[in-house]
Amino acid sequence: MHVPDGFIDAPVSIAAGAVAVAGVAVALRGARRELDDRTAPLAGLTAAFVFAAQMLNFPVASGTSGHLLGGTLAAILVGPYTGVLCVSVVLLMQALLFADGGLTALGVNVITMALATVLVGYGLFRLLLRVLPKTRASVGGASFVAAVVSVPCSAAVFTLIYAIGGTTDVSVGKVAAAMIGVHVLIGLGEALITAVTVSSVLAVRPDLVYGARKLIKPLELRTGAPGGGPADRPAEGPARPSGASA
């Protein structure tokens, strides 16, 4: 769903570019906390995987296809801030190397496919994990649902931008209905790819899944024998106040 040049007028494209730059700047600050010597290469590989998966258009309805957006997937694997950067790098390379997604629409594309998908997808994923039992199946299920929802939300954000700065006079209601309708179907494909990928990584290296790190932490602590982490008092309460890591 790469927006080409000319769908959105110049002022709104520029404004979208400014929002995208601000979003990426926030992501760059936040990603520092998510990335270390081991997760930085993983994040690069995740971006490469998102690029590869985006090439795989799958049929969804008569004469229509869809492809992975990847924001939810990247955020669950390597963290939300880094996830935004992964998809943004993919979008930048697609626009510069493959003429996919207009250069003037890059801001719009970063907002719809990187920022919106991560905010909605990862936000929903965290909410679901809060209420679901702490199992690997829950992580797979939550990633499925989060990914399904993220795609029509991304389409809705595009429609909103179109409503503000579309270059044509098609009724916003029609665009919204068509965009959200078809992207619910595409969301199912997104969900399948996301859940299978997350579950596969969980099966072989659960410690590398950012979104599941709370699940495996207790196990790590248990094997850590006496005086494991420096900040970790062996206090009786197993419930630690917040997700403060390291």
Partner 1 sequence: MTTKRFFVGFLLVSLVLAGIVSYYASGSPDGLEKVAADKGIDAKERDHTLQHSPLSDYGIKGVGDSRLSGGLAGVIGVGAVLVVGGGLFWVVRRRDHSRDS
Q: Does 196 bind partner 1 (CB under 8 A)?
A: no
User: Should residue 220 be labelled a site residue for partner 1 when binding is judged by CB under 8 A?
Assistant: no
Among 122, 144, 162, 210, binds partner 1 (CB under 8 A): 162
209 binds partner 1 (CB under 8 A): no
Q: Of 15-23, 81-89, 114-122, 220-228, which segment contacts partner 1 by CB under 8 A?
A: 81-89
Q: Does 33 bind partner 1 (CB under 8 A)?
A: yes
The only residue of 124, 146, 183, 198 in contact with partner 1, by rule CB under 8 A: 183
Q: What span, in angstroms and rounded, lies between the C-alpha atoms of 140 and 209?
A: 11
Which position among 18, 21, 22, 170 is part of the footprint of partner 1 (CB under 8 A)? 170
CA distance 191 to 218: 28
Stretch that binds partner 1, among 15-23, 78-86, 139-147, 218-226 (CB under 8 A): 78-86
Q: Restricting to residues 89-128, which ones interact with partner 1 according to CB under 8 A?
A: 89-90, 92-100, 102-103
245 lies in the binding site for partner 1 (CB under 8 A): no
Judge whether 4 and 102 are in contact, CB under 8 Å.
yes
- Report residue 64: phi and psi, to 5°: -130, 140
**Position 21 contacts partner 1 (CB under 8 A):** no
Size of the site for partner 1 (CB under 8 A): 75
| Contact present, 75 and 125 (Cβ < 8 Å) | yes
Q: Are 104 and 9 in contact (CB under 8 A)?
A: no
Q: Name the one range near partner 1 by CB under 8 A: 26-34, 123-131, 134-142, 221-229.
A: 26-34
Task: Kindly tell me which residue out of 32, 134, 228, 232 binds partner 1, with binding defined by CB under 8 A.
Answer: 32
Q: Which is nearer to partner 1, 140 or 189 (CB)?
A: 189
Could you please report the per-residue DSSP string of 29-80? HHHHHH--TTHHHHHHHHHHHHHHHHT--EEEETTEEE----HHHHHHHH-H
Q: 53: how many CB neighbours lie within 10 A of its CB?
A: 18
Closer by beta carbon to partner 1, 115 or else 186: 186
Residue 204 engages partner 1 in binding (rule: CB under 8 A): yes
CB-based contacts of 104, cutoff 8 Å, min separation 6: 5, 10, 13
| List 18, 65, 134, 232, residue binding partner 1 (CB under 8 A) | 65
Rounded-to-integer distance, Cα 109 and Cα 91, Å: 7
Q: How far is residue 198 from each of residues 27, 38, 102, 107, measured CA to CA in Å?
A: 22, 18, 30, 28
Decide: helix, strand or coil at residue 166: strand
Our CB check for partner 1 shows the closer of 21 and 96 to be 96
Contact residue for partner 1 among 122, 125, 144, 158 (CB under 8 A): 158
